[in-house]
């Protein structure tokens, strides 16, 4: 067994506000709710997503703040959410992992007008819906400028390294302050949920028996 934080750089593992997520799932397919809860860490997100990046940390921080509103008892129900995100490889992965929503079941909707770190999250059983986005004061201008340089094709090897360093520094900043200080969160009332992004391929059925007696 390895330490759950072993994959993280020491500067991040020791960050004072590294988010964690206590989640609730069913015990097996067609199972009732599992009385045992799980803890999902940023290291787990890294395992799933593949690399540590600014988008991963933006999503972790933004969704931490959203869950604090939707699940005030601190237990995040991954059978009970839908989410709208942009199509970021990074933030979209975190959105699916932490919410249990999936594009192929229509519960994860892609909206290309949303920015990085911006999500609309709904708790299905209550209808409560929140819109969360990064506060302008944390916007990583230097990361975006370097990203544009790479995407222009006019770059050298040192620019790849610099981009990685800037992204990690940004991730470190996000983990060094409470999530609530990095994001703007708004409760949406009467929000009309958009149609699913994917064709109708069926719906998620493995949570259907969560309330069974
Ligand atoms: Zn990423």
Residue 206 domain flag? no
Say if residue 175's pLDDT is above 70.
Answer: yes
Residue-wise pLDDT tens digits, 81-125: 999 999 999 999 999 999 999 999 999 999 999 999 999 999 999
Q: Which domain holds residue 38?
A: 15-188
Distance 71 CA to ligand 1 centre (A): 26
Residue 171 sits in a domain of what CATH number? 3.30.1330.130
Does the pTM surpass 0.85? The reply is: yes
Distance 16 CA to ligand 1 centre (A): 22
Q: Is pLDDT larger for residue 204 or for residue 58?
A: 58
Count of structural domains, the chain: 1
pLDDT at residue number 3: 54
Residue 193 domain flag? no
DSSP of the chain, one letter per residue?
---TTTTS-HHHHT-TT---EEEE-BSSTT--B-SS-EEE-HHHHHHHHSS--HHHHHHHHHHHHHHHHH-TTS-EETTSEEEEE---HHHHHHHHHHH---GGGTSEEE-TTSPTT-EEEEETTT--EEEEEE-GGG--HHHHHHHHHHHHT---HHHHHHHHHHHHHHHHHHTTS-HHHHEEEEEESS--PPPPSS-------TTTTTT--
Residue 212 domain flag? no
Residue 134 domain flag? yes
Distance 18 CA to ligand 1 centre (A): 17
Distance 3 CA to ligand 1 centre (A): 22
Say if residue 6's pLDDT is above 90.
Answer: no
Residue 84 domain flag? yes
Residue 211 domain flag? no
Residue-wise pLDDT tens digits, 120-160: 999 999 999 999 999 999 989 999 999 999 999 999 999 99
Q: Is pLDDT larger for residue 19 or for residue 1?
A: 19
Residue 68 domain flag? yes
């Amino acid at each position: 067994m390895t330490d759950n934080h072993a994959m993280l750089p020491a500067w991040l593992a020791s960050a004072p506000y590294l988010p964690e997520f206590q989640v609730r799932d069913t015990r097996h397919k067609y199972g009732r709710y599992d009385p045992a809860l799980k803890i999902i860490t940023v290291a787990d997100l890294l395992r799933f997503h593949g690399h540590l990046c600014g988008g991963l940390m933006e999503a972790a921080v933004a969704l931490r703040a959203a869950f604090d509103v939707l699940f005030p008892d601190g237990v995040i129900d991954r059978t009970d959410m839908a989410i709208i995100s942009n199509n970021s490889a990074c933030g979209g992965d975190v959105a699916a992992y932490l919410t249990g929503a999936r594009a192929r079941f229509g519960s994860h909707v892609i909206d290309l007008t949303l920015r990085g770190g911006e999500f609309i999250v709904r708790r299905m059983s209550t209808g409560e819906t929140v819109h969360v986005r990064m506060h302008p004061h944390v916007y990583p201008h230097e990361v975006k400028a370097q990203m544009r340089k790479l995407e222009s094709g006019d770059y050298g090897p040192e620019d790849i390294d610099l981009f990685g360093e800037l992204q990690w520094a940004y991730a470190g900043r996000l983990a060094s302050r409470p999530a609530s200080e990095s994001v703007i969160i708004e409760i949406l009332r009467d929000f009309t949920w958009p149609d699913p992004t994917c064709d109708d391929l069926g719906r998620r059925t493995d949570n259907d028996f969560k309330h069974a007696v």
